[in-house]
Amino acid sequence: MPQYAILIYEKELPGGVADIPADVMAANIAAGEKIAAMGVTVVHEHGMQPAATARTIQRDGLVTDGPFIESKEVIAGFFVIEADDLDTALAVGRLLPIMDGAVEVRPLFAG
């Protein structure tokens, strides 16, 4: 079955997860139940540490602080799903509550 990466971009909150509003957290929990009801399998799921903990390895091997792109949003988390097709994966992405960011749905190469 095809796999898709779901990347969640948000503005970084000063207090991290503690600053996520209760209604957004509740919507995240409800999304998990809806995803399962769609028959979609979540293969991997991970939240991300703050962007300040990131390190970037440049082409010349130099390691620098921070994420590799300059953006007001950071990758807040990601997961990998198995879904029948891109339309189903997009439906999963639409279930995710976004405060100030976006959700990217990207097909993965077959392994």
DSSP 68-107: SS--SEEEEEEEEEE-SSHHHHHHHHHHS--SSSEEEEEE
φ, ψ for residue 49, nearest 5 deg: -70, 165
| Mean pLDDT to the nearest integer, 73-84 | 90
Task: Give the pLDDT confidence score for residue 14 in this predicted structure.
Answer: 78
Q: Which CATH number belongs to the domain containing residue 31 in this structure?
A: 3.30.70.1060
Task: Give the pLDDT confidence score for residue 58 in this predicted structure.
Answer: 80
Domain that holds residue 53: 3-107
Total domain count, the chain: 1
Q: Give the closest residue to 101 by CA, choosing from 24, 4, 2, 22.
A: 24
For the whole model, what pTM was predicted?
A: 0.82
Check pLDDT > 90 for residue 88: yes
